[in-house]
Amino acid sequence: MQRRTMVDRDAQHRVLSQIDAAELIDLASALIRILSFKPDETPVAFTSEALIYEALFVALRL
């Protein structure tokens, strides 16, 4: 069963065309190397730095 969504196809194309496949693969590769059993904030820090690098606003809650 297909799910119906209302999507602006032009907006969708503009967003998806800005995705750099190599950069996305690099980010995913770096994320999977973070050890999941570490009790510190390493994954959060890494992810927030990656988002800030992309000029996105990041707010961490303690």
Q: Which residues contact 35 (CB under 8 A, 6 or more apart)?
A: 42
| pLDDT, tens digit, 9 for 90 and up, residues 12-52 | 899 999 999 999 888 888 877 776 665 677 778 888 888 88
Listed by start position, the domains of the chain span 9-53
Residue 51 CA: distances (Å) to CA of 7, 36, 55: 25, 20, 7
Predicted TM-score of the model (pTM)? 0.49
Neighbours of 41 (CB within 10 A): 12
Helix (H, G, I), strand (E, B) or coil at 49: helix
The token pair at 31 is 């994320």
Q: Which residue, 40, 11, 46, is CA-closest to 26?
A: 46
